[in-house]
Amino acid sequence: MPDTLRRTFRSLNDIERLIACTNLNQRETAMHEVPSIPLEFDAYSEPEMRQRALTFFNMMKKRHSTRDFADQPVPLAVIRHCLETAGRAPSGANQQPWHFVVVTDPDVKHQIRLAAEEEERAFYTERASEEWLNALTPLGTDADKSFIDRAGCLIVVFAQVYGLDADGNRVKHYYVQESVGIATGFLIAALHNAGLACLTHTPSPMNFLAKILNRPANERAFLNLVVGYPAADAQVPSHATVKKSFDEFVTIV
């Protein structure tokens, strides 16, 4: 077949596919043809939906970061399920650019505490601006991170800034910060739902975490999640319990 004719046939074929794509009845041609499976989805009546949404909100509104942990181990089976939930988060091109390191070993926790406190001392005495320190005043934070020793475990979240294929070549990762942030949100919600407290600890810089935990060159520490049972007399700074009203943070168009 001559080239011109082949091109014509190809473009006719494209037009045909375009028409098929716009026809909503032909669902199988509405997306690119890729292997797919039926969506498993639990549907509810509207009253049930409202009840479930409210029940979830009432559970989540009791979540607060605390620095007062009980000196008590956490059940790893629970941590495992929570991490499995985190691993179900949506991510850029489904690349799942995260890695979670669960630290229960008291010696490793202590190493992390000492390294964190060193960075935090520099933060509180030199690095932080006056404005930043003022913003932190109502939270009462300081360079003391003794809760790292006490809490049952740390879940150190790493972002994989690029991936590696089977031959060790770099693979570009997309929306890494967003993806890891969403997975961390899933994890925080799952931990609270399971009955564990956590604190999002972000020492800056936190390269010491990759060093202590021996992480590969493509990973950057994203967050140190301190996880455990709250102490019986655990406190939350009042400032942290004041939340914006719905109308302040939502616009419906």
3-state SS, one letter per residue, for 85-101: HHCCCCCHHHCCCEEEE
Answer yes or no whether residue 141 interacts with ligand IYR by CB under 6 A: yes
> Does residue 173 bind ligand IYR (CB under 6 A)?
no
Q: How far is the CB of 63 from ligand IYR (least distance, A)?
A: 15
Q: How far is the CB of 34 from ligand IYR (least distance, A)?
A: 41
The one-character DSSP state at 121 is H
Min separation Cβ 239 and ligand IYR, Å? 11
Q: What's the CA gap between 72 and 69, in Å, rounded?
A: 8
For 158-188, give one letter per residue: b (16+ CB within 10 A) or e.
bbbbeeeeeeeeeeebeebeebbbbbbebbb
Of residues 20, 65, 15, 74, the one with CA closest to residue 199: 65
Beta sheet of 98-103, edge-to-edge order: 98-103, 153-160, 219-228, 197-201
Q: Would you count residue 55 as binding ligand IYR (CB under 6 A)?
A: no
Q: What is the closest distance, in whole angstroms, from the C-beta atom of residue 157 to ligand IYR in the complex?
A: 15
Number of residues lying near ligand IYR (CB under 6 A): 9
The residues near 24 (Cβ < 8 Å, ≥ 6 apart) are 30
Tokens for 92, please give them: 């850029």
Residue 230 within binding range of ligand IYR, rule CB under 6 A? no
Q: Does 114 bind ligand IYR (CB under 6 A)?
A: no
Q: Which of 114, 136, 182, 189 binds ligand IYR (CB under 6 A)?
A: 136
Q: In terms of CB distance, is 63 or 81 closer to ligand IYR?
A: 63
Interaction residues for ligand IYR, span 194-223 (CB under 6 A): 201-204
Shortest Å distance, C-beta 62 to ligand IYR: 20
Sites of contact with ligand IYR (CB under 6 A):
120, 123, 136, 139, 141, 201-204
